[in-house]
Amino acid sequence: MEKHKPCPNCGNELEFSASRGELHCRHCDTGQEVLRDPDFVPSGSDYLETLARFDENSERPEQIAIDCGNCAAHIELPENVVADRCPYCDSPIIATELCTRPVRPTAVMPFAIDREEATEHYRKWLHSRWFMPNRVKREARTRQFKGIYLPHWTYDSDTTAVYTGMRGEYYWVTVNYTETVNGRSVQRSRRERRTRWYPAAGTAFNLFRDLLVPANRTLPPELVDKLTPWFLDGLEQYQSDFIRGHQEQSYDLPLAAGFGQAKEMMEPEIREEIRRDIGGDEQQILTQSVRYKNISYKLILLPVWENHFEFQHKIYTFLINARTGEVQGKRPWSAVKLTFFILSLAAVAAVFIYLIINHSG
Ligand SMILES: [Zn+2]
Ligand SMILES: [Zn+2]
């Protein structure tokens, strides 16, 4: 990993520009191509082999300290951050070579939406929200967005589920009953559906590919989870040129814990496959035992613009998918706007009631 990438024209640090898709100098506007491997296909690593290499310290949180290459300031990066911008001179800091994590990302989805475009997406999102306080709308213009590469695990696995259960098959019966019509008893009949249950047992097979699990939980997980879909065919081979000028987080969710979440994602599909295997009209699953085979994983980086604002002593974070422009955020409600809305509803209702009463009178 190259710590420095000076501009060939003026010597300032180059950074990755989302709008140009290449390295760019903010001082003299010089561009420089990022050398890409056009045949790159992200490939997984064996999950169990990797786990066997770990010791108890492998996945400890880490905090990296580094001197800025531009202004020489001594910088403590936030926990589990391996690239960022210098807080003093704003130039890119690449500290990936100091990272002690046994697993490093192999693929990255480069930023495709730049800060200006992200701001535009955010502004539209804000204006489409009802009852948003005006002060928040004003503030959105002035806030600085932070570009962050979020690590994600992706898991592949084949599963074999051995199960026992019951297969329900419908059949119809004619039921006779008596009804009283005009004081007289009348014989009637109707068709009723019943279910006959048979024991079932067997094996269901599934293939899972690219189950995506966010691997750093610093940003609100409920927002990160909703930035999907990511369209993983845009992945490029990891290289620091794509990172320059953005923050890169390392993972804080251990590899095995991530697979635990992937298992939960597999569960509904496995049960669906068992039901298909049982067949019939209805199914009950009594026992199931799942074996996970050919487990492989990748660590990849996905690009997000992050911003937040404070409103009435609360922090509101919002995130933008820097590939699709999808905005996710928590939001405050304007008490004033809500009150006026409710009052105006009440006024409209009052007018209606007045008209109805007058009309019928
Ligand atoms: Zn330059
Ligand atoms: Zn600096």
Within a domain: 16: yes
212-225 residues labelled b (16+ CB within 10 A) or e (exposed):
bbbbbeebbeebbe
CA 323 from centroid of its chain's CA atoms: 13
Range of the domain at 357: 336-361
What's 9's DSSP letter?
Answer: T
Return mean pLDDT, the chain.
91
| Centroid of ligand 1 to alpha carbon of 14 (angstroms) | 7
Within a domain: 4: yes
Give the ligand with the smallest distance to the CA of 5: 1
For residue 150, pLDDT over 80 is answered with yes
Average of pLDDT values for 228-255?
Answer: 94
Coil vs helix vs strand at 341:
helix
| Centroid of ligand 1 to alpha carbon of 6 (angstroms) | 8
Give the ligand with the smallest distance to the CA of 91: 2
Give the ligand with the smallest distance to the CA of 12: 1
Cis before residue 229, ω within 30 degrees of 0? yes
Cα-based torsion angle of the residue sequence 237, 240, 241, 246 in order, rounded to the nearest 10 degrees: 110
Strands (E), the chain: 15-17, 22-24, 31-32, 45-46, 65-67, 74-76, 81-85, 92-94, 107-108, 146-181, 184-214, 236-237, 247-249, 282-311, 314-321, 327-329
User: Tens of pLDDT along 7-26?
Assistant: 999 999 999 999 999 999 99
Within a domain: 346: yes
Type of residue found at 139: E
pLDDT band at 357 (very low <50, low <70, confident <90, very high): confident
| Centroid of ligand 1 to alpha carbon of 8 (angstroms) | 7
| Centroid of ligand 1 to alpha carbon of 19 (angstroms) | 17
Within a domain: 25: yes
Within a domain: 20: yes
Within a domain: 124: no
pLDDT band at 258 (very low <50, low <70, confident <90, very high): very high
Within a domain: 361: yes
User: Which pTM does this prediction carry?
Assistant: 0.86
| Centroid of ligand 1 to alpha carbon of 30 (angstroms) | 5
Within a domain: 244: no
Considering its fold, how many domains does the chain have in total? 2
For residue 295, pLDDT over 80 is answered with yes
| Centroid of ligand 1 to alpha carbon of 29 (angstroms) | 6
Residue 274 near residue 74, CB atoms below 8 Å: no
For residue 57, pLDDT over 90 is answered with no
User: Tens of pLDDT along 158-216?
Assistant: 999 999 999 999 999 999 999 898 889 999 999 999 999 999 999 999 999 999 999 99
Residue 58 near residue 50, CB atoms below 8 Å: no
